[in-house]
Amino acid sequence: MTQERRRAPRYRLSTAITADDVSGRTLDVSGSGILFETARPFTPGDDVAVVLPLTYAGAGTSVTCNARVIRVEPRGESFAVAVAYELTGFDISPTGAH
């Protein structure tokens, strides 16, 4: 039997995401990580800057955090990338006001 290693439940969410200025689309999120699909083959162990837009909170608002790539899975011409982050790393601010 495989033991569950996740620290928080996952929630399906499809929204735009940027990781190190590379665009993608989330597949699911949790309180400790994000799985997203993108055209770039990141490398496990990479540290990346992740930006999630929060359009419901106002135009140009986003959440940014530092994350570490945990795994990368090929999906045809794209890649599913799993990253882990710490909630204390969030910075919520309008775009461009970091």
- Domain for residue 5, yes or no? no
Enclosing domain of residue 24: 11-94
Section 26-52 average pLDDT: 93
11-12 and 33-38: which strand pairing? unpaired
Report the distance separating Cα 33 and Cα 83, nearest Å: 5
Segment 53-90, tens digit of pLDDT:
877 767 777 888 899 999 999 999 999 999 998 654 44
CB 11 within 8 A of CB 18: no
User: Does 2 map to a domain?
Assistant: no
pLDDT at residue 6 in the model:
53
CATH code of the domain in which 42 resides: 2.40.10.220
